Amino acid sequence: MKKSLLSLTFFLLCIGVMAQTNKTVVHTVKGVLLDSLTKVGEPYSTIRISKKEAPNKPIKMLVTDTNGKFKENITGEGSYLISFTSVGKKVISQEFIVKPNETMIDLGVIYTKEAVNELKGVEVIAQKPLVKSEIDKLAYNVEDDPDSKTSTTLEMLRKVPMVTIDGEDKIQVNGSSKFKVYVNGKPNNMISNNPTEVLKSMPANSIKSIEVITNPGAKYDAEGVSGILNIITVGSGMQGYTATLNAGGGSTGSNAGVYATVQSGKFTVTGNYYFNYYKLPDDASGYSEREDFTSDENKYLINSSKNDYKGNYNSGNIEASYEIDTLRLITFSGSLFGGNSTSNSSGEIEMKNAIFDPVYSYNTNSINKNNYKSINANIDYQRSFKKKEELLTFSYRLSTSPQTSDGYTYYSDIVNYTSPLKNLHTMGDPNTTEHTFQGDYTNPVTKSQTIELGAKYIIRNSKSDDQYYTSDIDKSIYTKDEKRSSEYDHLQDILAAYAGYSIKYKDFGFKTGLRYEYTMMDVKFHNDLGQDFNAHFSNLVPSANLSYKIGQSQTLKASYNMRISRPGIWYLNPFVNTDDPTNIRYGNPRLDSEKSHSFDFNFSSFTQKFNINLTLGHTFVNNSIESYSFIKDGVVNNTYNNIGKWSSSRLSTYINWNMNPKTRIYMNGTSSYDDFKNEKNNLSNNGFRFYINAGFQQTFPWELRLSLYGGGSSSSVGLQGKDSGYSYYSINLNRAFLDKRLTISIYARNPFNKDQKYHSTIETTDFHSYSESTYPQRSFGFNISYRIGELKANVKKAARSIENDDVKSGGDSKGTQGSN
């Protein structure tokens, strides 16, 4: 693999050297933009430079500095047009000529003035700046960035404020990976579930802008997501097609994908498909030890294991729209995400007494197979009105998530273990199906005021069927264990309604809303494992956002949001997993929803050279769902309950510095103080946590692009324990060929570190435990992407649609993941 990467690097360099045989002359254009009345420099005016014969196709984009000055390099001689766009000012255009061997073109002083009414028949086209800050979001104008013509959407995301992409192409919004992805204001679960790989295959020339919504308001479900990426696509109306094909491989797997769009008349279809195969090396291992304070006989438990893991997943998405007329639009979308995995593990368990003499021991060997799917379908009807931005939308959504698991655990080399051990065979078949009906109405009552109204009804049916079979060690006939098997239904009917109001006055903005949710829950057991019960509860969820623009590029914001988080099926599932009879896990079907309250204060400043976003926030939850452990009869029990009070005070920082057009340095970091309490059981824990992600990007001659990424985290605390930190780094190199249609990339992730070790501790009044896991970290690989066709259309979509994001994520079929 290393030889192949070196050969490919040498090939890229050779191509670049040949491409530089005929050197081009670089011409520098400079000048200063002043207000015609005050003679003061006009800051942050958007500048577009284009060929005279193609004025609508800018070859360069930039903004003036704080003094109105600008400087930019271009190649090629001939006639050019340069235009300046500022808020509240006329669009100024000027022609200039570049002569051969002329390296400096000084345009001198250019004056701008206030916008006035133009003569009838003259059309003035407004052009938006690259970055725009609003009361509850930031927007990056991808369409006006020339790099969008040759980049993927993932590459363009690196330029978007408050978005960071690390060395493994993992995306974070405002310092968190807990975000949702929307397309044209409509949620897209397929992209949300797998944003990196899908956005890699989506060409950026299909994107108009990308919005970062950091404070979701009343119109969104009351789930505590950290933010939303809303991708606005280019409007339809022309014939054409485009397709991007990509494939890659490396030391840990291989992948392939395709993204395509085609339009005929008023009917437009877009779709994508992605497949990935992955396999971890066989040297992953684990070690744990536990000290029982309640017993001297069974005092110390030691467990060592080895495991390997492989699997594949694939995702597909299709969207279609039909424009009945200029005011009525029907859209349809469907998505599939799924995969399967196989894991094998072997372990050695040994118990010792207080003086470290052996008490008992045995070995285990486990084989587990899992299959999971997520299938979604939406249909939307949108009615527009003559008043701009007045919309009425009706939507229906069907979603189902079938999963299956099949596992075997075998015991051998049993020494002095008093209870009879039996081989295990477990089968799980959980599934959640949702039907959702929704209506939304938006009315801009005046130029500065808007009201929003909406209602939603969700029918959510979650079913769990876990079967437990045992067999004697020396036999292969399995018998069902009725006492350990479980089957139950968890039914929810959720009614919701919301109202929102926003107003803009000069440099001030205010947005508020109130959401009401009423939940009817019914739990039915099909065996004697639990007792049927039902519950009804309601929630009022307020939100408020206030903003003030200090200048053209600086904004202050303050916000309050209340969010709720309902437990998912794996938190609720009472099935007892006894793969390890000394450490069992199960869910709690009587969990209540979490309720969180967040206060945020934000300062942002965005200029051509330097971007900064600072957020000081505080969040608290008084009934948080926590994973907790206790020991009973020498066995550790792991489950969940609403036993926690959790609060977090944090400072998030995003900094981006464009040193020059070819060099970029950025940093995203978060520091927080987390406090956990459980007064009922007299438990508490607290501590500081730090996270940083930083990167450097450089474009060399021959259009060879180098990217370096790195980051890490300090240790973090939970209610009963502490987890270790981690670190990572990556080196990427890529080059485009064939008029930038073909891109070849190579990468090395953590090349100088073979493994990554994680450890965690749990402290209770009954026991202390320590566990350590070692995972392969080093990987090498390559990726090839090729684009065909020209994008001239995108699916029109309803401006509003359905998103059910009220379910708390996390947990798994074995109950191995807590709520934090």
pLDDT for 332-386, tens place per residue? 888 887 888 898 999 999 999 999 999 999 999 999 999 988 888 989 998 988 8
pLDDT of residue 260: 78
For residues 434 and 569, the answer to whether their CB atoms sit within 8 Å is no
The confidence score (pLDDT) of residue 353 equals 92
Q: Is the pLDDT of residue 798 over 60?
A: no
Nearest to 586 by CA among 639, 518, 659: 639
Question: Mean pLDDT across the stretch 778-798?
Answer: 67
What does the pLDDT read at residue 127?
37
**Do 790 and 242 touch, CB atoms closer than 8 A?**
yes
Q: Which residue has the higher pLDDT, 133 or 120?
A: 133
Among the ranges given (109-113, 418-422, 446-450), the one the predictor scored with the smallest mean pLDDT: 418-422
pLDDT in tens, 278-334: 887 666 788 989 888 888 988 998 999 988 888 887 878 788 888 788 888 888 888
Q: List phi, psi (to 5°) of 342.
A: -135, 130
Least confident of 113-127, 153-167, 257-271: 113-127
* Average pLDDT of span 75-84: 89
pLDDT number for residue 358? 93
pLDDT for position 17:
42
- Asked if residues 808 and 568 have their Cβ atoms less than 8 Å apart, the reply is yes
Question: Considering only 51-60, 148-157, 318-327, 720-729, which range has the smallest mean pLDDT?
Answer: 148-157
The pair of three-digit structure tokens given for residue 154, joined into one six-digit string: 């993932």
Which tokens in the block code for residue 595? 């309720």
Residue with tokens 């030889």: 3
Name the range with the highest mean pLDDT among 3-17, 617-631, 790-804: 617-631
**Which pLDDT score, from 0 to 100, does residue 188 have?**
62
> 507 pLDDT exceeds 80?
yes
Q: What pLDDT is attached to residue 803?
A: 55
Backbone angles phi, psi at 531, to 5 degrees: -105, 135
* pLDDT computed for residue 701 by the predictor: 83
The mean pLDDT value for 144-151 works out to: 59
Which residues partner with 393 through β-bridges?
382, 440
Which of 224-228, 278-282, 584-588, 664-668 has the weakest average pLDDT?
224-228
Q: Is the pTM of this model over 0.75?
A: no
Residue 505 has pLDDT above 60, yes or no: yes
* Tokens 């009587």 belong to residue: 590
Name the strands in the sheet holding 78-85, side by side, starting at the edge strand that comes first in the sequence.
58-63, 46-51, 78-85, 92-98
Residue 459: pLDDT above 90? Answer: yes
Average pLDDT taken over every residue of the chain: 78
pLDDT for res 596? 80
Q: Picking from 177-191, 225-239, 409-423, which range would have the lowest pLDDT averaged per residue?
A: 225-239
Q: What is the mean pLDDT of residues 683-701?
A: 85
pLDDT of 799 above 60? no
807 or 512, greater pLDDT: 512
- The pLDDT, as a whole number, for residue 61 is 82
Least confident segment among 90-99, 138-147, 795-804: 795-804
Under a CB-based contact definition with an 8 Å cutoff, are residues 535 and 521 in contact?
yes
Residues across the chain: 820
In angstroms, the CA 533 to CA 224 distance is 27
Report the pLDDT value the prediction gives residue 496, as an integer from 0 to 100: 93
Q: Does residue 78 or residue 164 have the better pLDDT? A: 78
